[in-house]
A = this chain, B = another copy of it.
Amino acid sequence: MKLYQSIAEKIRERIEQGYYQVNEKLPSIRTLSQEHDVSVSTAQQALLFLEKEHWIEVRAKSGSYVKAQLAAAEMPQPCRPAQYPLKVSQWKEVRALRSLYKGHSDDFLYLSSGMSDIDAPTLKPLLKIMSHLTIREGVRCLTPDTLQGAVELREQIARLALDGGTRLHPDDIITTTGCQEALAISLQALTKAGDVVAVESPGFYGLMQILKALDLQALEIPAHADDGMSLDALEMALDQWPIKAILVIPTENNPLGSTMPDENKVRLLKMTQRYNTPIIEDDIYGDLRYKQPRPRTLHSFDTEGRVILCSSFSKTMSAALRIGWVAPGRYKERIEHMKYIGTANTTTLTQLAIAEFIKQGYYERHVRTVRQQYRLNRDQLTHMLQTYFPKGTRISAPRGAYILWIELPGDVDTLLLNKRLVQHKIQIAPGVIFSASGKYRNCLRINYARPVPKSAVLAISQEAKELLAESLMPQ
> Which A residues fall within an 8 A CB radius of B?
91, 94-95, 98-99, 101-104, 113, 115, 118-119, 123-124, 126-128, 130-132, 134-135, 138-147, 177-178, 180-181, 184, 188, 192-193, 206, 209-210, 212-215, 314, 317-322, 333, 336-338, 340-350
Contacts and interface: CB of A to CB of B under 8 A. Distances in A.
A193 B214 CA distance: 10
Nearest to A138: B127
26 contacts: A98-B146, A102-B146, A103-B145, A118-B143, A127-B138, A128-B134, A130-B130, A130-B131, A131-B135, A142-B320, A142-B321, A143-B320, A144-B318, A144-B320, A177-B322, A177-B343, A177-B347, A178-B344, A180-B344, A181-B342, A209-B337, A213-B337, A319-B344, A322-B346, A322-B347, A347-B347
Contact of A130 (B141, B193, B206): B141
Contacts of A139: 104, 118-119
A337 B91 contact: yes
Contacts of A343: 177-178, 180-181, 184, 322, 342-343
Contact of A104 (B91, B140, B321): B140
B347 A213 contact: no
A102 to B, nearest CB: 6
Contact of A98 (B140, B147, B314, B321): B147
Contacts of A206: 340-341, 344
Contacts of A321: 142, 347-349
B319 A144 contact: yes
A147 B134 CA distance: 26
A249 B340 CA distance: 20
Contacts of A113: 144
A341 to B, nearest CB: 4
Nearest to A192: B193
A98 B333 CA distance: 13
Given A95-B337, A102-B146, A144-B319, 10 more contacts: A98-B146, A98-B340, A99-B147, A101-B146, A128-B134, A134-B134, A180-B342, A206-B340, A209-B337, A319-B344
